[in-house]
Amino acid sequence: MTLESARFPLLLSPYRHGSRLKLRNRILHASITTRHVRDCAPTPAMIQYYANRARGGAALIVSEPLNCARFQTRAHYARVWNADFEEELKSWAAAVESHDCRLLGQIQDSGRGRHERGRNAGAVGASALPDDLSWTVPYVLTGAEISRMIEDFAASAARLARCGFSGVELSAGHGHLFHQFMSPWSNRREDRWGADFEGRLRLVRETIQAIRAVTPSGFLLGLKLPGDDGVPGSIGPLESRSIASTLTSGGEVDYLVFCQGSHARTLDWHVPDAHWPRAPWLSLIRELRSACNGVPVAALGRITAPAEAEGILARGEADLIALGRALTTDPAWPLKSAQGREQEIRYCVSCNTCWGQIVAGSPLACDNNPRVARTDEVDWHPERAKTPRKLAIVGAGIAGLEAAWIAGERGHEVVVFGASAEVGGSTRLHSQLPGGESLSSIYDYQLMRAQSAGVRFELGQRAGLAELIAENPAQILLATGAEMSWPAALPLEWKSAVPDLRSAVRKLAELTRPQGGTAVLFDADHTEGTYAAVQLLQRLFDRVVLVTPRERVAVDVPLVSALGIYRRLSQSGIEILPLHELTAESDPERAQLCVRQIYSGALTTIAGVVLLTYSTPRVPQLELLEPLRAAGYPVRQIGDCRAPRTVLAATSEGHAAGLEFE
């Protein structure tokens, strides 16, 4: 299949460079760890993930990291350093390459880098210096061990070639082992593997040369390099230019891709979330490209839409487009772009749920793609139901909408009742907060599909028992969400004066002028939306104090996004009182709030409080449940009204409910 589109002529036309790089278009899938590997064996689900991206139109896919050296034993990476899984590797390569898509195996080691809690006991490294995040101090490799590691990497690359892979990518950025060797900040060796610029680059150079020596002439070799790792004394744009120029001078490298940040306080630069501008690294990439000796450079970093990608190519900022999360969210992104169906793409919302999942050890999952790695994932349409029936859904949030469009496309008659005049529920509210804009893609897509499937919407009034009974549906889905619970420490009489965070935000979002005074937020939520709301408070009040019973904030946000939250809260002067709880010993008349340190019991008074609000564990909205059951209707609860959880739970549960309605 060749993808061509008049709208995206550069992005979707074939690309050639030199004698090796021949691609059907300019779209690369950047490496994404799937956590579908079991005991070092590629699994059918893992292979399916890659086959789907190939079928969806990507021209080149970089695999997740592989265990290529003998000391690499991580069970969630496929083993290549011996022959144990050659058959699986061959199936993997065939599943991708049969779609005219090049599969490259990624060679990577995290070295001392670890973003989970605790130390990495098996870490190896250049020098006995701690990882910035986990304080892991690695075992320092000897020269002989480095040489053996290079031999292993090359032997594994040769095995991949024999198994049908088109090439390899060295992941030499992200603060991982290759990066640690290249950086003067983490490599303090005095031997030939450090000491100076040449020495620090030796590991990457010799690995490249060793791979070239044992692989076929057409074998592709890509390099992922740090552009700006943001760590003082490490690799900034100038050092990166020199590295890129040196490593591309020999003609061995087929493409480069620059990633940003390190395994340090700049970890959030790896996967810019929705608080970053779109494609935030373009000017840096363009600048670095001029040092790459004509070797093609792929733009990477929060590129989500085909028009953005086409613009990057048209302006000459890069030669290729590397998409990580965008292709996780929709593997048919290239196909739909080629067919002029960009509005049908399920767009990445840069929430980093995917990253949180894999770091927690769960298979890759996506807030806006409930079918990651399923056999029918590409351009999926549900099968029609045998017997069309009527489904009533109460709640037009993302759980209800997901169920609605699917049941509608399956041929059922669907009516959705929504209390608000607009769809999207609490996700719409979040989308109106700083950094929330992209979230609208979730419900915009659902609404578009529901409308084209003929779903009827009754919006702007709370549906009661009578309205639902009048519809006489075969089933009722309750998707009514959940509301924040009243903080137990506060007297109930304060209820009218102390709004929950959502109610506060609805009112405050309309204000244009600063209010002055102190706003206090009691945070027993720790998800991203709460901190987006804090940014709104910060714009409106002189002083914002965050009170939380936990030892720190943003505990339930993936670390890559939490770092951004810490940075924003710190830079905007938000005061944080960890390990504190609310008390009733306050004086609302005098605008004084009294909070207590949980363990010492010490009381602190916050003066001048003009707003006290709370973000707390939510309770399901279930007023209709018992009356509907009593009236004899089969009722199913989905999303937060089943149990208050995440966007991921809401979309996947709505998806299942829409499919399972018979």
Ligand X SMILES: Cc1cc2nc3c(=O)[nH]c(=O)nc-3n(C[C@H](O)[C@H](O)[C@H](O)COP(=O)(O)O)c2cc1C
Tokens representing 183 are: 């950086």
Backbone angles phi, psi at 99, to 5 degrees: -100, 20
Terminal-residue alpha carbon distance, the chain = 37
Cα separations in angstroms, 214 against 246, 248, 253, 452, 584: 22, 19, 15, 55, 73
Which residue minimizes CB distance to ligand X? Answer: 324
∠ CA 518-536-545 to the nearest 5 degrees? 35
Phi and psi (nearest 5°) for 386? -65, -45
Binding track, positions 100-129, relative to ligand X; x by CB under 6 A: ------x-x---------------------
Q: Which one of the spans 28-36, 456-464, 534-542, 545-553 is the region binding ligand X (CB under 6 A)?
A: 28-36
CB of 259 to ligand X, least distance (A): 5
The smaller minimum CB distance to ligand X, of residues 53 and 224, is found at 224
Q: Are 440 and 431 in contact (CB under 8 A)?
A: yes
Bridge partner list, 456: 415
Asked if 302 interacts with ligand X (CB under 6 A), we say yes
Q: Does 354 bind ligand X (CB under 6 A)?
A: yes
Point out which span in 182-190, 300-308, 579-587, 593-601 binds ligand X (CB under 6 A). 300-308
DSSP state string for 222-275: EEEEES----TTS--HHHHHHHHHHHTTTS---EEEEE---SSTTGGGSS--TT
User: Is residue 30 close enough to count as binding ligand X by CB under 6 A?
Assistant: yes
Residue 281 found at the interface with ligand X (CB under 6 A) = no
Q: Is 194 helix (H, G, I), strand (E, B) or coil?
A: coil
Query: Cβ of residue 423: shortest distance to ligand X, in angstroms?
Result: 27
Residue (397 or 436) nearer to ligand X, CB: 436
DSSP strand pairing (482-484 vs 618-620)? antiparallel
323 binds ligand X (CB under 6 A): yes
Contact positions with ligand X (CB under 6 A) in 61-90 = 64-65
235 touches 243 (CB < 8 A):
yes
Interface with ligand X includes 433 (CB under 6 A)? no
Q: Which stretch binds ligand X (CB under 6 A): 352-360, 383-391, 484-492, 649-657?
A: 352-360
As given in the structure block, the two tokens for residue 600 are 């010492």
Subset of 246-275 contacting ligand X (CB under 6 A): 259, 270-271
Site for ligand X in 473-512 (CB under 6 A): none
- CB neighbours of residue 516 within 10 Å: 12
11 touches ligand X (CB under 6 A): no
Helices within 364-473 (DSSP H only):
398-409, 425-431, 440-452, 465-471
Phi, psi of 227 (to 5 degrees): -90, -55
Q: Does 175 bind ligand X (CB under 6 A)?
A: no
Which range binds ligand X by CB under 6 A, 116-124, 140-148, 320-328, 450-458? 320-328
Show the site string, 355-394: x = touches ligand X by CB under 6 A, - = not.
Answer: x--x------------------------------------
Window of 25-33, 126-134, 196-204, 581-589 that interacts with ligand X by CB under 6 A: 25-33
x/- letters, 325..344, toward ligand X (CB under 6 A): xx------------------
Q: Which amino acid is at 425?
A: G
Taking CB under 6 A as the rule, does residue 174 contact ligand X?
A: yes
Partnered with residue 320 across adjacent β-strands are: 298
Q: How many residues at the interface with ligand X, by CB under 6 A?
A: 25
Q: How far apart are CA 280 and CA 285, in angstroms?
A: 10
Binding residue for ligand X, selected from 32, 58, 96, 533, defined by CB under 6 A: 32
Taking alpha carbons only, the member of 455, 484, 429 closest to residue 620 is 484
> Pattern 196-235, binding to ligand X, x per CB under 6 A?
----------------------------x-----------
**Binding-site ranges for ligand X (CB under 6 A):** 30-33, 64-65, 106, 108, 171, 174, 224, 259, 270-271, 300-303, 323-326, 354-355, 358
